[in-house]
Amino acid sequence: MNPITYYIKQALADYYPDSEAASLAKLLLTQVFGFTVIELYGGKDRSFSEYEQKQLDDILIRLQKHEPVQYIIGMEMFYGLSFEVDENVLIPRPETEELVEWILKDNKEGGLRVLDIGTGSGCIPITLAKFLLHADIASWDISDGALEVARRNCRRNDVKVRLERKDVLQTSSSEEQFDIIVSNPPYITEKEKAAMEANVLEWEPSVALFVPDEQPLLFYTKIAELGLEMLVSGGRLYFEINRDYGAATVGMLERLGYHHVELRKDLSGNDRMIKAIR
């Protein structure tokens, strides 16, 4: 084992399972310190400078506090694209990639008008802007910090998204019409906090995560109501959802008059995505 890999694993041994510590070591050495495959696995020694050693030790202290490694290195991959991330935004997750994949497979025609609600890092609207043909993409978020991260990610990925600061819960309607509305809104109830990992609970922005226990569908209901006015006839509504409220979300959409409501599971077998037609 590379001696620096061993050093990292020992520093993290009391905080992470061995397999996770090994993955973190590989990520840090390749992404932060530029190790080659030969340096990582080939037994070729590489000594750290005093500056590099201090940089590594500072990172290890942050990891011991369960700060997400994505925030430490400042980026995460999503659908093959690179996104800057910091404490203002949620870290993009594989389940959201599945939602984006569904939208892309469903919508091959060009020139679609798309609204994303809850911009965050911009992973959803930017990916759609990258891969939907000639689409016009708008995206709302309540957080100035998140919108600034999304602006940088638009430049990073060379796409145009119309970013707007807007609180969806305080929005009555918009004159603009859309073919698609997509949202991955806050959906974790307060009672679920007890089961959450520290690296999420203590570091990721709570405004993007939580809803009251008594209103688990708070954002879904509001967005679906807006969709009745803002979606064209036959327009599509896509949600990422809380796995415990799949049937309830389907029922709400059907009561509002949406049709062909489809609930899908993610790769882990959890109810995770919904599509509904206006």
Query: Per residue in 260-277, pLDDT tens?
Result: 999 999 999 999 999 999
Nearest 5°: CA angle at 272, between 271 and 275? Answer: 105
Q: Is 122 a known ligand-binding residue?
A: yes
pLDDT over 80 at 214, yes or no: yes
Neighbours of 110 (CB within 10 A): 9
Q: Is 111 a known ligand-binding residue?
A: no
Matching residue, tokens 């029922």: 251
Q: Is 141 a known ligand-binding residue?
A: yes
- Full DSSP string of 49-101: PHHHHHHHHHHHHHHHTT--HHHHHTEEEETTEEEE--TTSPPP-HHHHHHHH
Q: Is 125 a known ligand-binding residue?
A: no
Q: Is 5 a known ligand-binding residue?
A: no
pLDDT over 70 at 44, yes or no: no
Q: Is 121 a known ligand-binding residue?
A: yes
pLDDT at 57: 97
Q: Is 120 a known ligand-binding residue?
A: yes
Query: Per residue in 99-151, pLDDT tens?
Result: 999 999 999 999 999 999 999 999 999 999 999 999 999 999 999 999 999 99
Q: Are the C-beta atoms of residues 182 and 230 closer than 8 Å to each other?
A: no
Query: Per residue in 219-257, pLDDT tens?
Result: 999 999 999 999 999 999 999 999 999 999 999 999 999
pLDDT at 195: 82
Query: Per residue in 152-188, pLDDT tens?
Result: 999 999 999 999 999 999 998 778 999 999 999 999 8
pLDDT at 175: 82
Q: Is 187 a known ligand-binding residue?
A: yes
Catalogue all structural domains in the chain, each as residue range(s) with its CATH number.
3-65 (no CATH), 86-277 (3.40.50.150)
